């Protein structure tokens, strides 16, 4: 009985920790190893169409990059996959993801930018509707 109670408490603690971690990523800054991309490379704080990006540098170039709107709410996870890696049939497995409900996904070619200075694809897992995503361009 004591063991069962201990397990229940431990389970509850772990669930709380996981939920806390997930909710921590729902608002900027996400904490942990994530750093603001504009502090790592020469990019503006806010990227029109994407938002304010955070990344764990150890996961570059793929990411995820966690994107937040002007109010600091999580809007997407972005994975940046270089074209040359795709052409080389390189696999990217076990990529992290934010714990949020997915609304839709965009896969968009990008010519490059500081941080990933080569042609690549943005695979954008959106947690907001296309209408809300469109507001990020402002």
Which CB atom, from 85 or from 118, has the smaller least distance to other proteins? 118
Among 112, 129, 130, 135, binds other proteins (CB under 8 A): 112
14-22, 23-31, 57-65, 111-119 -> range binding other proteins (CB under 8 A): 111-119
Q: Nearest approach, Cβ of 120 to other proteins (angstroms)?
A: 10
Q: Nearest approach, Cβ of 3 to other proteins (angstroms)?
A: 56
Contact 78, 64 (CB under 8 A): yes
80-87: list long-range contacts, CB under 8 Å, 24+ apart.
80/110, 80/116, 80/120, 80/121, 80/122, 80/123, 81/120, 81/121, 81/123, 82/116, 82/118, 82/119, 82/120, 83/118, 83/119, 83/120, 83/121, 84/118, 86/121
Per-residue contact string for residues 29-48; x = within reach of other proteins by CB under 8 A: ------------xxxx---x
Among 2, 20, 109, 138, binds other proteins (CB under 8 A): 109
Q: Give the residues lining the site for other proteins (CB under 8 A).
A: 41-44, 48-49, 108-114, 117-119, 137
């Amino acid at each position: 009985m004591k063991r069962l109670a201990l397990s229940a408490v431990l389970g509850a603690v772990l669930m709380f920790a996981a939920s806390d971690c997930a909710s921590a990523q729902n608002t900027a800054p996400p904490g942990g190893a994530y750093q603001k991309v504009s502090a790592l490379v020469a990019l503006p704080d806010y990227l029109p169409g994407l938002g304010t990006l955070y990344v764990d540098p150890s996961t570059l170039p793929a990411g995820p990059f966690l994107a937040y709107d002007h109010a600091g709410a999580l809007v997407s996870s972005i994975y940046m996959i270089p074209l040359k890696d795709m052409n080389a049939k390189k696999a990217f497995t076990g990529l992290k993801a934010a714990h949020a409900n997915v609304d839709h996904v965009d896969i968009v070619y990008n010519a490059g930018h500081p941080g990933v200075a080569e042609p690549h694809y943005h695979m954008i897992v959106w947690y907001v509707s296309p209408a809300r995503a469109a507001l990020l361009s402002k």
